Structure 1
């Protein structure tokens, strides 16, 4: 939930502006960089994929859950840089906090306010949603304040993404059990990605990106496999994108094609940079692998929605991918 790994992309060290040199017109850009706003495009798909696994259609409660997820995600971003401000002063002096463009107290205040807002929005989505959002918020804070530097860091990040998907199911129907399989798939992707990101600034062994590459292949296989007859959705969702007059077989065929397309887009987005990082696990290529893995989260979410026979949610999620790529060219998502 907080960007899958270490913040910032290594750049040649340079001296950032002093606090008194920062002008008001530059402060919004600094906050955009601090919060990594382009990464927000990877968030709504979590909730939509979770909502797709339960009966009924997304409604106002689902929308509240999306708002909650966005707030908790950004809380993690702000808290991440606040927790790393001393380390970043040496390794990433261009970041907003060490460069003086954002004050540490302001970043911590923003993290607290965003967390409180996220929990309040989850409460509007209902008690089941709040019951998921509370441990999600706790996981985000625990990760940023210490777990990310321990061996369980990647698992904590994976748990946060999985909980975010379960938030969508809880808000939409009050139940999370149908969403556990999708949450496990999303969490597995996040686990592999976060493990790669731990070597983002120093580089590392080719084994880590190779493992992430193998994980991507395994997930793609699971997503493209035709469902067994026992796996079904309610008729209202299965047929919601069918042409007029078409029957369930046509809808099922179209749904499978959409799922395969999204799964292949996921594989194409993640696999190539992972492969390059495996050939040469240098910091620049590892950073590109992390960025590719983050962007690949969107088509993965779309594939999970399509896998649950919710093509509208899949298409909405997939439409966020080009927007994320466009804005990521201006502000790093890692």
Structure 2
């Protein structure tokens, strides 16, 4: 009985390393890219069963790909931070010895490989994007996250490329929708910048810069309406919901950059990625598709109660 309990606890620890709540936000990136590619014709009506399966199969592969890529990336984040976590976060799976360092390396490697292999099922271009995301994630984990400027930029590139991975379901659309990557790049840069003080506290100037980047992102969601095939009015309610979720905690963290308020802002920012994606997806399609993406939010919030987000 005791052995079974220890085994269950160890499996749970490895699951914690993958940060399931965050993986759900990566699914939202794929869904908005899928919408921007023009492939979301299945919402709100279904053409026929054959067309639906043909449309959803590549989407399924890309959702599996981002699961592996994001999961592997965050597992390696704990691998590279094992010594630091032993001092600052001894309750984490590796320093608490609930998960071994070797086991984490194997898990992270398998997840990254799974991500690339799943992307190959869609196209070689998708596989190339997946490989870029995997390498960028590893570079962030090992080197860039300790740099004030390149850390946020590197993490933003991972999320921007993840959105384009969704667009790659129609390869030719990448040349038309490449600029969409800048929205998650800037958004994640804001979160990553402010998160640098979540353990020991941050600086007010960093918090206000992050807040300014958030305002840029929200404005960009609406300014996409300058495109002929994007509806800002449809995206507006989602953008307003996004602003209500993230501006208050970011403002509080900027005004008083103590670890507790910074962690609250980071959690709100990470989980609100789904709202950001829902807003852009709705603009490219309709409210029905936007709401379909938004359904991921309560799922992610539920998982966030069980697993660490930061």
1:270-309 map, 5 Å? 270-309=246-285
1:1-334 map, 5 Å? 23-57=6-40, 58-150=55-147, 151-225=149-223, 227-228=225-226, 230-232=227-229, 256-334=232-310
**What are the superposed Cα offsets for residues 170-194 of structure 1, whole Å, 9 maximum, x if unpaired?**
1234431222232111111011111
Aligned counterparts of 2:129 and 2:223: Cα–Cα separation in 1: 30
Aligned counterparts of 1:217 and 1:273: Cα–Cα separation in 2: 13
Alpha-carbon offset, residue 78 of structure 1: 0.9
Contact 2:207 2:255 in 1 (8 A): no
Alpha-carbon offset, residue 168 of structure 1: 0.7
Alpha-carbon offset, residue 221 of structure 1: 2.3
Query: Could you say which residue in structure 1 is the equivalent of 2:47?
Result: none
Alpha-carbon offset, residue 26 of structure 1: 1.3
Alpha-carbon offset, residue 317 of structure 1: 1.3
Alpha-carbon offset, residue 291 of structure 1: 0.6
Summarize the Cα distance change of 1:172–1:226 in structure 2 as closer, same or farther, 3 Å threshold.
closer
Alpha-carbon offset, residue 51 of structure 1: 1.6
Aligned counterparts of 1:138 and 1:158: Cα–Cα separation in 2: 14
Query: Could you say which residue in structure 1 is the equivalent of 2:48?
Result: none
- TM-score in terms of structure 2 length: 0.89
Alpha-carbon offset, residue 256 of structure 1: 4.3
Contact 1:143 1:156 in 2 (8 A): yes
Structure 2: 5+ residue runs without aligned partners?
41-54
Work out the number of aligned pairs and report it: 293
Alpha-carbon offset, residue 307 of structure 1: 2.1
SS of equivalent to 1:59: helix
Aligned counterparts of 2:265 and 2:14: Cα–Cα separation in 1: 25
Contact 2:245 2:272 in 1 (8 A): yes
**What are the superposed Cα offsets for residues 140-190 of structure 1, whole Å, 9 maximum, x if unpaired?**
111111121124111110100000001011123443122223211111101
Query: Could you say which residue in structure 2 is the equivalent of 1:246?
Result: none
Aligned counterparts of 2:219 and 2:152: Cα–Cα separation in 1: 23
Alpha-carbon offset, residue 62 of structure 1: 2.0
Structure 1: 5+ residue runs without aligned partners?
1-19, 234-254
Aligned counterparts of 1:97 and 1:21: Cα–Cα separation in 2: 20
Summarize the Cα distance change of 1:22–1:77 in structure 2 as closer, same or farther, 3 Å threshold.
farther
After superposition, the CA RMSD in angstroms is 1.9
- TM-score in terms of structure 1 length: 0.83
